[in-house]
Structure 1
Amino acid sequence: MTQPAIIPIIEQKQTAYRFFTPVVLLLIAANIAADYLYTLFQQTAFYLPESALFSSYWILFVPLVLLQRSWMNTVAKRYQQLSITLFATALHLAIYPALVGLLSAVFYSHTFAYWQSFQYGLSTYLVQSLIIYGYGFAATALPKQAEPQQAFIETIATNAPALPAAFLQTLLVADGPNAQTLLAVNDIHYFSASPPYVTIHLSDKKILHSATLKGLEGELDGGVFVRIHKSYLLNINTVVSVQSRKNGDYDVTLTNQTVLRVSRNYASHFKQQWLAKPQLGLK
């Protein structure tokens, strides 16, 4: 079985939203500054509270862009993602006047009417909204264009020569309320299921560990740790004898005299691993 080749690939991370909130705050400040400059040019009065209130349009981008991104990640079709983008824009325009009305009712002497604020938002911010939510659409759609390159890399990995598998050699486990122990996996006799944990069985004690048998089975050397039952993962090197039950099941005795049952569902694979050791045999 071939293993993926080690190819030096620069890992692409999503950074489009990292500085989004600071940029929104900067845009709010720029919007207020633009209002101030406009009043200077028109020689009219400048009201900072009202300018800040109507600049709250930009604050809504923070939750709604993240919501747009979350929704778009749940669909694959471009028309579905475009529909979500247009819906996010419309939702923003609908929520904005309600936010202005609520804030003005709580903190201002005058409450601004919904439709008055809606018309203002539609005429002032529609283009900006389409640009920003459109950028969110593009940022989600762009990774899809990298699929041919990814397929090419996977083809190279599939045909690459096999490399030695890296298996767990040690386990860091909690050994008491405030202590941790690094166990050599070769010292472990077997694991037993204790949902949602597993119990590690050593020669002289047991330790509860946060893991699953299925997860450990994929991380440990399959030639050493063999699944013998839905509840047991066994270190085959600790087995000293195997006895057939004449019904497809087997009993195995370990070096510490523990006896475990090998279920018939796992017996075939267990026998393959056991018989691969020339000095051993079945009874």
Structure 2
Amino acid sequence: MDSQRALFLRRMSKPKSTKGFLLLLVVVLAVTIFQDYLQSRYQSYSFYFSESLLFNLFWVLILPVTLLLRYTFRKARIILRINSKWAVRSLFVLVATILHLLLFSLLVFSISGLFYDHTFGFWRNLVYSVSNDLYKYLLIYTAVSLIPLEKPTDTKLQIPREHPDFLLLQTGKKTEKVATDSILYISSATPYVEFFTAEKKYLQQGTLKSFSKKLDPSVFVQIHKTTLVNVQKVNSIISRGNGDYDLLLINGHELRLSRNYVYDFRSKFDRAHSG
């Protein structure tokens, strides 16, 4: 019953967070439009709701720009090669600010040209935004960049899962009890799966995916579509210069780390060897 409740809460968390953000967005828009109204009364000039709404669309663009860049940064190979998280964050702030400035100027230009009596020029609006509001963009996206790319796991909702300390593996006609921490790596050899320790190789029926679900994912990490490696048994990582890496295991054996799995491997390798 507890596990079912945890799954339900996980599924409900996304809609709630989305509704919360939309509510916050509506409140921010309302407050900024009201601020424009008060300023117009104070300085004795006409207030136009449509124009105030148009220019406050600045806030609406924050979410799509953030989601687009965070997705791009997770997937881009060049980003994965940057070891400094502050360099990545600085690059994110710079790119997000430039993209937001361009999109906002284009949005104001397009909407005013289609629905308003006069058009707000693209370059004029861009220059105005840079000269008057640049600090807002930098502050907002600096704050956004401090949010981790990977959503932290909520330990209260996490479903307990036990990982075996050993596996029963076959060697010839004999079945042996093999400690999981003695396994160096696992390789797919359809329709079998090969388990390698420092002393032996074991051939087992099954699929790489089925065994990966049984083992601790923080220890046995996928480095290729056909290979899982025990990160605790990796001594060093050597770049090939093309996005791929060579992993040197404690027994001197080398494995290839495909560029598609670099980000996940590096994060788990760093955690495994941080102590």
Query: Taking structure 1 as the reference length, what is the TM-score of the superposition?
Result: 0.44
Which structure would you say has the larger RCO, counting Cα contacts within 8 Å and 6 or more residues apart? 1
Give 1 or 2 for the bigger CA radius of gyration. 1
Query: Taking structure 2 as the reference length, what is the TM-score of the superposition?
Result: 0.45
